[in-house]
């Protein structure tokens, strides 16, 4: 194929004074960057294959390696940036749609970072979390609208099904197929230990993980993979996936090469067949149709499980959420435009959808204005990066947050954003058994538990500072937030005052 | 007592244990000086093929056949650990012949060496265990071990 237009993006820098030629880098790189030159007894590398996943860097026992961005540059141009030009080269070479993984990396506004949290001083004292009981538990599900009594005047205590979470965070949907068995095992075990939920994604539920059912959200997406009665009954809740923040309006495609063995069995499709999830659910063309599926699923599970509906944050999200709240769903999940993915068309990922902060504020306000906020719980995701983001989301009106990228980072992901290659050196986004076993769920689940415990401590510190001892008392409490460096319009949509006001 | 066990399910055959072992027993402070440009003589070895691999080191048997067979009386077992007395070893390789696990091998100077759980060096936990990236080698108490 003639001239190569693109110079490798990274350089592998090996400190020859430190390298002991143990060849760990060579053995651990699925991209085959490193190899041993027997003639000269030195390690050499082919940086054109490097994706900067940092596996070799992390495992090198003498810290002889580092990966740096190549400073080989095209002539500077603010309109035609280096990456833009390289993408043109790629497309001119392949003729194909550009594919990307994980969340939108472009420098779009991150509203979380423009929001500041309040603390108590003098008149309403802060609380000491270690000393005073702090409640981080939340319950997701439809709340009763009024108190009802039976003929004998006794209170009717039956309420619609609820999910109990020990803290307002859940692991969001990642299918078995897009991530590995061991990644799923880590998430399932960690969710169980922490007392939260993880989500199967649309790849079905591996038979080994039915025992974690109480801490599982089972997903029903447009491809309906792996859906049958036992699956629906296995989970604590059922999620209908209408859309995903990274690729709103786009379906999914897991290549046949990945549909092997247990993935094929769990998805209930033949080995080697492509798993195509259509862009729409072909039985849902209106809120009324959605209502039918919601009640079909409720009927199938005897009204014992809350039904979630997940949508991507798009322009009319407030109206869409209002419709979902009236469809009989118990929980709405909204995924913002910075949310991750195992593979999405780059252009879609980087240009479609809206920031979750604005979507959340708009939806919460709309549901409150219409008096239906208590009919439904609100879960948001799409790049919740820290406990501070969680606290801000709750104060903007969310009941809980979905995290996935943060969870994968805890498992070892280094955000190299090449999930679509299936060669994840960290054993996460791969089905290659040799790579999958690099993620030991004993270690993975422990790291996830650590992360969530750390966040829970921090959330309590935030709450204590604000003089709030229950996370429920923070929900929708936008007076606890102030904006900085935002326009009037942005503040209006977020429903918060500017710092200093 | 605690012993070294391997979980072959999680072994990645990265061979880090061998290098960590050679370093720990080198008596040198930094790994580069200890190992750069030299052949290594670790007391743990990765065996297996592309599909399955595991680290092999001394099992510290209840009734060690190497102790019985040593013609020089150089191998003994005390406090649950099978040890070699470097002064007594004559390098006859009889222990290599009898050990069912292949856990003994000659060192750089021809004197036999084997895993002694890093008790002789400064590491409080065996170096192979400490450096294993995937918990494929563990140091723990197990049922039936005294």
Model pLDDT for residues A133-146, shown as the tens digit of each residue:
999 999 999 998 88
Mean pLDDT to the nearest integer, A151-155: 92
Residues near A360 by beta carbon (within 8 Å), at least 6 away in sequence: A334, A378, A380, A393, A396, A397, A398
Considering CB atoms only, which of B14, B31, B135 is closest to A24?
B14
CA neighbor of A394 nearest in space, from A122, A159, A115, A164:
A115
Residues near A98 by beta carbon (within 8 Å), at least 6 away in sequence: A87, A90, A91, A345, A346, A347
Task: Please tell me the distance from the alpha carbon of residue A146 to that of residue A469, in angstroms, as a whole number.
Answer: 26
Question: pTM to 2 decimals?
Answer: 0.95
Q: Minimal Cα–Cα distance from A58 to chain B, Å?
A: 9
Q: How does the average pLDDT of chain B come out, rounded?
A: 92
Q: Where residue B120 falls among pLDDT bands split at 50, 70, 90?
A: confident
Give per-residue pLDDT as tens, A86-117.
Answer: 999 999 999 999 999 999 999 999 999 999 99
DSSP, residue by residue, B47-69: EE-SS-EEEE-----SS-HHHHH
Residues near A381 by beta carbon (within 8 Å), at least 6 away in sequence: A172, A245, A333, A334, A335, A336, A339, A356, A401, A402, A403, A404
Domains, chain A, in order of start with CATH, read 10-96 (3.30.70.20), 138-144+165-498 (3.20.20.70)
Helix A181-194 to helix A441-466 angle (10° resolution) is 40
ipTM of the complex: 0.92
Please list every residue in chain A whose beta carbon sits closer than 8 Å to the beta carbon of residue B23: 61
Give per-residue pLDDT as tens, B5-24.
Answer: 999 999 999 999 999 999 99
Answer whether B19 sits within 8 Å of A18, measured CB to CB.
Answer: no
Q: Is A17 on the interface with B (CB under 8 A)?
A: yes
Mean pLDDT to the nearest integer, B56-62: 94
- Could you give the percent of chain B with pLDDT greater than 70? 97
Q: Where residue B119 falls among pLDDT bands split at 50, 70, 90?
A: confident
Looking at residue B145, what is its pLDDT? Answer: 56
Helix (H), strand (E) at residue B96:
helix B94-98
A169 vs A157 pLDDT, higher one: A169
Ramachandran assignment for A497, one of left (phi > 0), alpha (psi -120 to 50 degrees), beta (any other): beta
Would you say the C-alpha torsion A474, A476, A480, A482 has a positive or negative sign?
Answer: positive
Give per-residue pLDDT as tens, A30-78.
Answer: 999 999 999 998 999 999 999 999 999 999 999 999 999 999 999 999 9
Q: Which two tokens stand for residue A370?
A: 């219409």
Looking at residue A260, what is its pLDDT? Answer: 86
Secondary structure class of A172 (helix, strand, coil): coil
| Residue that has been written with the tokens 């935002």 in this structure | A486
Mean pLDDT to the nearest integer, A180-184: 96
Q: Which two tokens stand for residue A20?
A: 């002991």
Residues near A194 by beta carbon (within 8 Å), at least 6 away in sequence: A166, A167, A448, A449, A452, A453
Asked whether A183 and A204 are in contact (CB, 8 A), the reply is no
Q: What are the CA-CA distances from residue A470 to residues A135, A189, A464, B2, B101 (Å)?
A: 5, 26, 9, 45, 59
Q: What are the CA-CA distances from residue A2 to residues A47, A82, A89 (Å)?
A: 19, 21, 13
Residues listed for chain A: 501
Q: Where residue B124 falls among pLDDT bands split at 50, 70, 90?
A: confident
Looking at residue B50, what is its pLDDT? Answer: 78
Q: Is A440 on the interface with B (CB under 8 A)?
A: yes
Asked whether A425 and A94 are in contact (CB, 8 A), the reply is no
Q: Where residue B144 falls among pLDDT bands split at 50, 70, 90?
A: low
Q: Where residue A229 falls among pLDDT bands split at 50, 70, 90?
A: very high
The helix/strand count (H/E) of chain B reads as: 5, 8
Looking at residue A443, what is its pLDDT? Answer: 97
Q: How does the average pLDDT of chain A come out, rounded?
A: 95
Give per-residue pLDDT as tens, A5-25.
Answer: 999 999 999 999 999 999 999
Mean pLDDT to the nearest integer, A271-284: 92
Looking at residue A1, what is its pLDDT? Answer: 55
Task: Please tell me the distance from the alpha carbon of residue B66 to that of residue B90, in angstroms, as a whole number.
Answer: 14
Task: Please tell me the distance from the alpha carbon of residue A170 to that of residue A198, in angstroms, as a whole number.
Answer: 6
Looking at chain B, which runs of residues are DSSP E strands? Answer: 2-6, 45-48, 53-56, 75-78, 81-84, 105-106, 112-113, 137-141
- Could you give the percent of chain A with pLDDT greater than 70? 100
Answer whether A22 sits within 8 Å of B35, measured CB to CB.
Answer: yes
CA neighbor of B59 nearest in space, from B77, B85, B40:
B77
Considering CB atoms only, which of A19, A24, A440 is closest to B16?
A24
Task: Please tell me the distance from the alpha carbon of residue B72 to that of residue B50, in angstroms, as a whole number.
Answer: 39
CA neighbor of B74 nearest in space, from B62, B92, B86:
B86
Residue of A nearest to B130 (CA): A61
Give per-residue pLDDT as tens, B67-118.
Answer: 999 999 999 999 999 999 999 999 999 999 999 999 999 999 999 999 999 9
Res A192 pLDDT > 50? yes
Q: Is B12 on the interface with A (CB under 8 A)?
A: yes
Domains, chain B, in order of start with CATH, read 1-57+121-146 (3.30.70), 62-114 (3.30.70.20)
Asked whether A401 and A381 are in contact (CB, 8 A), the reply is yes
Q: What are the CA-CA distances from residue A308 to residues A163, A227, A324, A334, B95 (Å)?
A: 11, 16, 9, 10, 66
Q: Where are the alpha helices (H) located in A195-313, listed in sequence order?
A: 229-234, 261-267, 287-300
Task: Please tell me the distance from the alpha carbon of residue A189 to that of residue A443, in angstroms, as a whole number.
Answer: 11
Burial class, A151, CB count within 10 angstroms (exposed 0-12 / middle 13-18 / buried 19+): exposed
Looking at residue A256, what is its pLDDT? Answer: 86
Task: Please tell me the distance from the alpha carbon of residue B137 to that of residue A489, in angstroms, as a whole number.
Answer: 58
| Residue that has been written with the tokens 């009981």 in this structure | A133
Q: Which is it for strands A307-312 and A237-241: parallel, antiparallel or unpaired? A: parallel
Mean pLDDT to the nearest integer, A119-134: 91
Secondary structure class of A99 (helix, strand, coil): strand
Q: Is B140 on the interface with A (CB under 8 A)?
A: no
Answer whether B31 sits within 8 Å of A28, measured CB to CB.
Answer: no
Please list every residue in chain A whose beta carbon sits closer than 8 Å to the beta carbon of residue B5: none
Answer whether A19 sits within 8 Å of B36, measured CB to CB.
Answer: yes
Q: Which two tokens stand for residue A194?
A: 């922490």
CA neighbor of B4 nearest in space, from B81, B99, B66, B102:
B81
Answer whether B32 sits within 8 Å of A62, measured CB to CB.
Answer: yes
Please list every residue in chain B whose beta carbon sits closer than 8 Å to the beta carbon of residue A442: 135
Spacing of C-alpha A259 from chain mean position: 23
Asked whether A72 and A9 are in contact (CB, 8 A), the reply is no
A60, A61, A439, A447: best mutation site toward chain B, by most B Cβ within 10 Å? A61
Looking at residue B146, what is its pLDDT? Answer: 46
Q: Minimal Cα–Cα distance from B134 to chain A, Å?
A: 6
């Amino acid at each position: 194929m003639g001239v190569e237009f693109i110079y490798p993006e990274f350089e592998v820098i090996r400190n020859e004074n430190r390298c002991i030629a143990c060849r760990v880098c060579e053995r651990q790189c699925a991209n085959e960057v490193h190899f041993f030159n027997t003639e000269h007894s030195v390690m050499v590398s082919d940086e054109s294959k490097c994706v900067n996943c940092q596996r070799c860097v992390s495992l090198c026992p003498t810290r002889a390696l580092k990966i740096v961005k190549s400073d080989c540059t095209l002539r500077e141009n603010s309109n035609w940036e280096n990456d833009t030009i390289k993408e043109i080269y790629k497309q001119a070479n392949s003729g194909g749609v550009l594919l990307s993984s994980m969340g939108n990396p472009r420098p779009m506004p991150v509203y979380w970072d423009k929001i500041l949290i309040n603390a108590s001083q003098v008149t309403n004292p802060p609380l000491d979390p270690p000393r005073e009981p702090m409640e981080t538990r939340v319950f997701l599900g439809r709340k009763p609208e009024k108190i009802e009594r039976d003929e004998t005047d006794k209170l009717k205590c039956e309420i619609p099904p609820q999910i109990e979470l020990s803290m307002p965070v859940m692991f969001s949907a990642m299918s078995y197929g897009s991530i590995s068995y061991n990644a799923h095992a880590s998430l399932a075990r960690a969710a169980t230990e922490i007392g939260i939920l993880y989500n199967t994604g649309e790849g079905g539920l591996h038979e080994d993980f039915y025992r974690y059912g109480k801490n599982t959200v089972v997903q029903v997406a447009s491809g309906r993979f792996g859906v049958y009665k036992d699956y629906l009954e296995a989970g604590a809740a059922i999620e209908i996936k209408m859309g995903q923040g990274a690729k709103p309006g786009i379906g999914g495609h897991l290549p046949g090469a990945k549909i092997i063995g247990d993935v094929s069995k769990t998805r209930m499709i033949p080995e080697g067949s492509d798993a195509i999830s259509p862009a729409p659910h072909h039985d849902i063309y209106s809120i009324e149709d959605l209502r039918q599926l919601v009640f079909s699923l409720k009927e199938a599970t005897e009204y014992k499980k809350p039904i979630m509906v997940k949508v991507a944050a798009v322009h009319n999200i407030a109206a869409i959420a209002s419709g979902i709240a009236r469809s009989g769903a118990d929980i709405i999940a909204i995924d913002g435009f910075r949310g991750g993915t195992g593979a999405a068309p780059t252009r879609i990922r980087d240009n479609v959808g809206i920031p979750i902060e604005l979507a959340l504020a708009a939806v919460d306000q709309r549901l409150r204005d219409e008096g239906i906020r208590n009919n439904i719980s609100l879960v948001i995701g799409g790049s919740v990066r820290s406990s501070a983001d969680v606290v801000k989301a709750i104060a903007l009106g969310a009941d809980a947050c979905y995290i996935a990228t943060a969870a994968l980072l805890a498992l070892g992901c280094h955000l190299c954003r090449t999930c679509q290659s299936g060669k994840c050196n960290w054993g996460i986004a791969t089905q290659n058994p040799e790579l999958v076993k690099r993620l030991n769920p004993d270690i993975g689940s422990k790291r996830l538990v650590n992360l969530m415990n750390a966040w829970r401590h921090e959330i309590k510190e935030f709450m204590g500072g604000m003089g709030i001892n229950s996370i429920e008392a923070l929900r929708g409490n936008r007076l606890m937030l102030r904006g900085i460096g935002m326009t009037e319009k942005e503040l209006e949509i977020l429903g918060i005052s500017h710092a200093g006001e | 007592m605690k012993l070294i066990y391997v979980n072959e399910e999680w072994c990645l055959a990265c061979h880090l244990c061998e290098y960590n072992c050679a370093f720990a027993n080198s008596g040198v402070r930094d790994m580069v000086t200890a190992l750069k440009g030299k052949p290594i003589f670790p007391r743990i070895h990765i065996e297996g093929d592309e599909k399955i691999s595991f680290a092999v080191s001394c099992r510290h048997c209840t009734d060690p056949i190497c102790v019985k067979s040593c013609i020089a009386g150089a191998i003994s077992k005390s406090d649950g650990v099978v040890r070699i007395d470097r002064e007594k070893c004559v390098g006859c390789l009889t222990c290599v012949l009898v050990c069912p696990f292949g856990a003994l091998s000659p060192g750089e100077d021809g004197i036999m060496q084997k895993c002694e759980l890093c008790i002789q060096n400064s590491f409080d936990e065996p170096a192979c265990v400490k450096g294993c990236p995937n918990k494929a080698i563990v140091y723990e108490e197990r049922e039936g071990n005294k």
